[in-house]
Amino acid sequence: MSAGDKLRLGVLGSGRGTNLDAIFRALHDRAIPAEVKVVLSDVRDAGILHIGRSHRVHTKYVYPGESPFRLDEASEHNISNALHHEQVELVILAGFMRIIGPELLAAYPRRILNIHPSLLPKHPGLRAWEQALAAGDTVAGCTVHYVDQGVDSGEIIAQAEVDVMPDDTPEALHARIQHAEHVLYPEVIDHFARNRPFAG
Ligand code: GAR
């Protein structure tokens, strides 16, 4: 398979980038026919930008605007341009903590995926593992879903469960969920890369 056959990914994140790291490892180890073309962040010094750079991928900080929750129009336009410049076919949100707006949703219909650290529709929003502990859940997990205009509300693609232990701390549960994320997200990307469910 030539490099041109690979599914072109654009990754957006705001945090450490452990999911991106797991994706890079899986692309290599499992020969998934996909490649990360660009990594974008709304946080200037985010770990995810360092991880992108360490894999020699083009990275870019995009000033997100004044709202802590959304991208303003200009920043969305900048992100859209950066993705189009790299001819990105599938957008991967990996810990991107802002709501995606209409320009990006229209540019990538059913081509923007997100991972969330709960069994959606339970516990959308911030610090979902703490929500699971507060609710007394005995099972937690993570979800990969299509992105829509809401918060962690799009159609569910895949989920993985983890047990909640009686003596769990938020940190221990979060680590267990992240471990599951690092398996689940590459599996979904593998499926998209091999089956191109959006082609046509
Ligand atoms: C992940 O646990 C992801 O599920 C969460 O941010 C973390 C990013 O970690 N995303 C959300 O909560 C989105 N609502 P990472 O930067 O180490 O991949």
Instruction: Indicate the domain borders of the chain.
Output: 3-116+142-161+182-195
Instruction: Give the residue, by CA position, lying nearest to ligand 1 atom 6.
Output: 95
Strand arrangement of the beta sheet that strand 7-13 belongs to? 58-61, 34-41, 7-13, 90-93, 112-116, 139-146, 156-163
Tokens of 47: 């770990």
Architecture of the domain whose range is 3-116+142-161+182-195: 3-Layer(aba) Sandwich (3.40)
116 is catalytic: yes
Instruction: Give the residue, by CA position, lying nearest to ligand 1 atom 7.
Output: 95
Instruction: Give the residue, by CA position, lying nearest to ligand 1 atom 3.
Output: 95
- 3-state helix, strand, coil split of the chain in percent (to 5) is 40, 25, 40
Q: Where are the alpha helices (DSSP H) in 36-155?
A: 47-54, 73-85, 102-107, 128-134
Q: Please report the pLDDT score of residue 199 as a whole number.
A: 56
Q: Please report the pLDDT score of residue 30 as a whole number.
A: 95
CA distance 114 to 105: 13
Ligand 1 atom with least separation from CA of 15: 16
Residue 171 is classified by DSSP as H
pLDDT in tens, the chain (200 residues): 455 589 999 999 999 999 999 999 999 999 999 999 999 999 999 999 999 999 999 999 999 999 989 999 999 999 999 999 999 999 999 999 999 999 999 999 999 999 999 999 999 999 999 999 999 999 999 999 999 998 999 999 999 999 999 999 999 999 999 999 999 999 999 999 999 987 55
Q: Kindly write down the DSSP assignment for every residue of 39-60, as one continuous string.
A: EEESSTT-HHHHHHHHTT-EEE
Q: Please report the pLDDT score of residue 40 as a whole number.
A: 98
Q: Determine which one of 84, 116, 145, 182 is catalytic.
A: 116
